[in-house]
Structures are given as C-alpha cells and as structure tokens.
Amino acid sequence: MGSDVSEFDDRLINSAALLGTATDATSLWEMTDKLVSLYLQHPDDAEVRVQTQTQTRAFLKSGAPMEVLRQFSVQVIRVILASRPVEYYAEMLYAPEVDEDYSAGGEELHHAPTEILAPPVPQPVTCNSFEELLPEALCYRVRLLTGFFQRRNPLIARGVRVPFLLSPVFEQRFCQVIREVITPRMLGGKNLGALANARNWKGVDSAAFWNRADLREIASKTIIAWESIWRRLYQITSPAHEIEEAAQSAEALKLRAKYAELLTDIQMRLNGPEYVMPKLGPSQLKMFQTSFASFDRRVMEQVWKSLRQTYEQELDRRPYQEKARHGALRDNFLASFDLCTHGIGEMLVILGYFSFPKLPLHWVELFSFNMGNSRENRMELIPVLTAFLEQEDAQRAYKREPPELLAEIEASAVITA
C-alpha cells in the first residue's frame, strides 16, 4: 500500500518548498529531475525513473507559466510518494553501513542517505532609491540565514513541525514584518533618515549594499539602527527592566507601552500553523538583534560541512571514512553553540535531525541535557529546542523511531562524566 501524502508529509512539503525557489523553467527542471532521481533510485525503478524524467522534461519545456510548471512538478512528486510504501524509503535511509568493497555499477544514479538539497542563495534586487533599497537589503541579509536552514534531506519524513527559522513560510512573514514594521521605524531615526539624498542610489542592489567598500559606513549605520529597534524590544521583556519601571518617567513609560504594542503586533504577524513559533522573549529577540545582521553564510557552510562529516563518521559511516569515537558529533554541536551563538546552535541541532537519518529524536533529547539538568535551565538556554521536543508531534515521533537506531545512543549524545 502506498504512503498517504494527503496529510502532513515532510517529503512533499520540503520538495514543494525547494521547487518554489526555482526562478525559471531550467532551474525548475533541474530540481525536479534531482528529486525524481532521489525518490526513484531503487534499481527496480530504473525504467519508471527514465520515463518520468522524460515526460517531466517535455512538459517543463512547454512554455507554460511558471506557476503551472511548479504545480505540475509538485504533483509529479506527490504521485511518486503516494505510490511507494514507507518501507521503500526506510530501506534506503537505515541500511547497514556500506561495505568497503562496495561498487554500485551506475554510480551517477546512487544517492547517499545524507544527500541534502538546499535552495539557491537569494538573488540581489536593484533599486532606484534608498527607501526602496533598505527593506530589500535587509531581506537579502535575512534570506542568507533563513535559506541556510531550509536545506533538507528529501528522503526523510519526521512528521514533526519545524521551528520557525527552518520554514520558508516564516521567511516570507519575517520579510513582510521588515517591510511594513521595521523599515519605517529605521527610516524615521536620526541615523538613516538623512541618507536618502546622500547619494544616487539608482542601480545599487541589495547585495552590493553590504559588500561595496564605498557603502561600508552606511551599512554600518544600518546595522546600528536595526539593532537599536530589537534591543528596545529585548529590554521590555527583561525582568530587570520591569524592576526599574517604577522609577521611570511618564514619557519613558509611554515609550515602553508603545514598544510593547509593537512586540505584540510582530508576534501576531509571525505566528503560523506551519511551524513552531515561540512567544517572543529575550532569547529570540536577541537572535533577531544580532544574528540576522551579523550572520556569515560562509562560516556556517563550513560548520555544517564539519557536522555532516562527523555524523557520518560516528553514526552513519561512509566507505572512505574512519569510525569516529562516541560523542564526536555531540562535541561538534556543542562547539557550534560557542561559535554561532546559542540561538543558532539549537537550530543547527534541529536541522541535523531533519537531515541526518540515523540521528533519532531520542539523541536530540539526550543532547539537550548537556545544556541544563532541569527543564527551567534548558528553557532559559535553549528555549526553541526544548519547545520543539515537547510538542505533541514529537511525542508521536518517538514511538516511530527504529529500535536499531537507539543502540549505544546515550554514549553518543550526552556527557556522562
């Protein structure tokens, strides 16, 4: 019996999200072809794979509108998933470690269980004025971060809602907040208000805004203005700030109430059923304040490469790799907390769960104990990861985890000394 893809299915959702990033028919075909080859990589499916790719290519070159082509590609993936039982993909993901003398006669059709697809980096947008450029530049910077976390292993179906940063829908909503809420307040400030007429902005794109040497000072002022707004929102959620409230002037209290109203508005705009969005508290606001402005995609790609290699060496070894010691992946994730901040670190752990097939939810839970012995400590240090583990979807996912993945997992995930 085939898989039921009418309900929540990570594979279909993630495939549709990746296909949605295609900007033209050629890139859409390349993504569709890749997904078809992943979902039909079993030797018994060689004939149907070739037929599907041939027919799909013909339609995607028909000249139909992009929206029609995207819908067609999504339906192709839906039909494939509906026609294959869950065990079909479990066999690929949870197969024993490949023997050293393994040779697959058609290597171009073989996909590793940890093969991960990522949306392309955002394309710069050219603007004619500073008022147009500022929100585009901020959204470009944000998409470098959110796009990084939208990568997925298409074969994995966890049945658990992702946290906000891993969702393409959150990216859309956050960019809307930037355009409609954050940018107007930044333009109304002293640092940026006078920049509109400081130079000719025609032809400057959203990537050059951050990279050009002659715009470095303006980019620096933009970051200061961005951080100022989020710092103010952060302060009104701080318990220490509440203690000081009695000593504040009437004008200061009025300003605080204004920002509290603004925070409520942002929360409502960012909430959505597609992902887990916690109440905006100090941890999330601090991440918005710092990470979204200072995030370095190149550094994160290196961090991710190291995490993937360590995962394979310890839990899902490739033929060309030596076996890593127990706890190597745990230590690598802990190091990422120090390198990338706690907010990004906990997102990396969850991204690993959705990317690495032999990393069960039980491992993620045990790893969280490294960050605090009590739930209160974990909620303070890793609130998103803690809330992710406590949602109902996660409780059901525990029961579906293959028993063979739980062997020796404690030695790998948590520091016992």
Domain end residue (candidates: 266, 291, 316): 291
- Angle separating helix axes 168-177 and 130-148, nearest 10 degrees: 160
pLDDT beyond 60 at 2: no
Does one domain contain both 133 and 272?
Answer: yes
Domain check: are 135 and 282 in the same one? yes
Question: Of 232, 259, 291, which residue constitutes the final position of a domain?
Answer: 291
Most confident segment among 2-11, 35-44, 230-239: 35-44
Residues 247 and 191 in one domain: yes
pLDDT at site 407:
65
Are residues 268 and 331 located together in one domain of the fold? Answer: no
Tell which residue, 173, 163, 388, 383, has the closest CA to residue 268. 173
Q: Does the structure show a pLDDT above 90 at 226?
A: yes
Query: Does 276 lie in the same domain as 145?
Result: yes
Whether the per-residue pLDDT at 357 is higher than 80: the answer is yes
Which range of 3-12, 71-80, 311-320 scores highest in mean pLDDT? It is 71-80
Do 279 and 371 have their domain in common? Answer: no
For residue 84, the model assigns a pLDDT of: 84
What mean pLDDT do residues 19-38 have? 90
Beta bridge partners of 204: 127
Q: Is the pLDDT of residue 190 over 80?
A: no
Element at 82 (helix H, strand E): helix 66-82
- The answer for residues whose C-beta is within 8 angstroms of residue 326's C-beta and 6 or more apart is 314, 408, 411, 412
Residue 160 included in any domain? yes
In a domain, 111, yes or no: no
State the average pLDDT for the chain: 85
Cβ count within 10 A of residue 88: 18
**Which one of 93, 109, 140 terminates a domain?**
93
Query: Using an 8 Å Cβ cutoff, are 217 and 178 in contact?
Result: no
- Estimate the crossing angle of helix 25-39 against helix 46-60, to 10 degrees: 170
Domain assignment present for 121: no
In this predicted structure, the answer to whether residue 335 has a pLDDT above a threshold of 70 is: yes
- Structure-token pair, residue 257: 């109430």
pLDDT of residue 183: 94
Structural domain for 322, as ranges: 296-413
Sequence-distant (6+) residues with CB within 8 A of 111 are: 37, 38, 41
Residue 205 belongs to what H/E stretch? strand 204-205
Overall number of domains in the chain:
3
* 363 and 256 part of one domain: no
Answer yes or no: are the C-beta atoms of 192 and 222 closer than 8 Å: yes
Query: CA 139, 145, 146, 147 torsion: positive or negative?
Result: positive
Beta bridge mates, 205: 126
d(Cα 103, Cα 346) in Å, to the nearest integer?
37
pLDDT beyond 60 at 47: yes
Q: What is the 3-state secondary structure (H, E, C) of 92-146?
A: HHCCCCCCCCCCCCCHHHCCCCCCCECCCCCCCCEECCHHHHHHHHHHHHHHHHH
pLDDT of the residue at 6: 41
Same domain, 275 and 315: no
What percent of the chain has a predicted confidence (pLDDT) above 90? 49
Q: Quote the pLDDT of residue 95.
A: 65
Q: Tell me, yes or no, whether 393 lies in a domain.
A: yes
Residue 244 confidence (pLDDT): 52
pLDDT on residue 106: 43
Statement to judge: residues 89 and 227 lie in one domain: no
- Specify whether 241 is located in the same domain as 135: yes
CA dist 77 to 1, 304, 355, Å? Answer: 17, 27, 19
Residue 191 has pLDDT above 90, yes or no: no
In the structure encoding, which two tokens stand for residue 190, read together? 């002293």
Evaluate whether residue 198 is within a structural domain.
Answer: yes
Same domain as 281, residue 141:
yes
Q: Quick check: is 73 in a domain?
A: yes
Same domain, yes or no: 179 and 227: yes
